[in-house]
Amino acid sequence: MMARAVLSQADIQRALTRISHEILESNRGSRDLVLLGIPTRGVFLARRIAETIARIEPDAPEPAVLAGAVDVTMYRDDLGRTRTRTPSPTQLPPGGIDGKTVVLVDDVLYSGRTIRAAFDALADLGRARAVRLAVLVDRGHREFPIRADFVGKNLPSSTRERINVRLIETDGDDAVTIEGGDE
């Protein structure tokens, strides 16, 4: 099955830079901002956004203070029906999430079930002032009324297609491809 390239490394970098600027504009700076990536690739995307924010915002906290991870595995509503991955540790930045604007970061927004699980996980971690969502790719087909606030690329797709996000940190290169759908 042939995969078609949708985003190159440069496209991904531009999208993350734009998302970083949009987050700063929406939040009026980096004050009381926390980026929480959803494992696996969302964690790396959150770190990259935190690094970009630290470069462009003079008084931004260090990336390690700005970004963390929230594992949603045990909050999923399909645990009994599908193969799940091994849970990853949740890592909150110093100061937690209470009273902060939390931006959840994920690679692909599809049904919305992962984000719904992230909301449940956040409720157990504290009381955020606001929760926003940043995704590299929004492919549609929502099963929950969830919308991303910051989107790298809207990529309408068939449910038979597969979106593959590759990142240097996990896969050795940066690319987004789409495959299938022509069966």
Q: Determine the residue type at 15.
A: A
3-class state of residue 21 by DSSP: helix
pLDDT over threshold 90, residue 92: yes
CA torsion sign for 79, 84, 88, 92 is negative
Average pLDDT over residues 69-80: 87
**In the Cβ-directed half-sphere of 42, how many Cα atoms lie within 13 Å?**
28
Nearest to 132 by CA among 152, 161, 104, 113: 104
**pLDDT per position as a tens digit, 105-142:** 999 999 999 999 999 999 999 999 999 999 999 999 99
Portion of the chain with pLDDT greater than 70, in percent: 96
The model's pTM = 0.95
Q: How far apart are CA 119 and CA 99, in angstroms?
A: 15
Beta bridge partners of 154: 138
**In the Cβ-directed half-sphere of 39, how many Cα atoms lie within 13 Å?**
15
What is the model's pLDDT at position 1? 66
**pLDDT per position as a tens digit, 142-169:** 999 999 999 999 999 999 999 999 999 9
Nearest to 63 by CA among 80, 47, 78, 74: 47
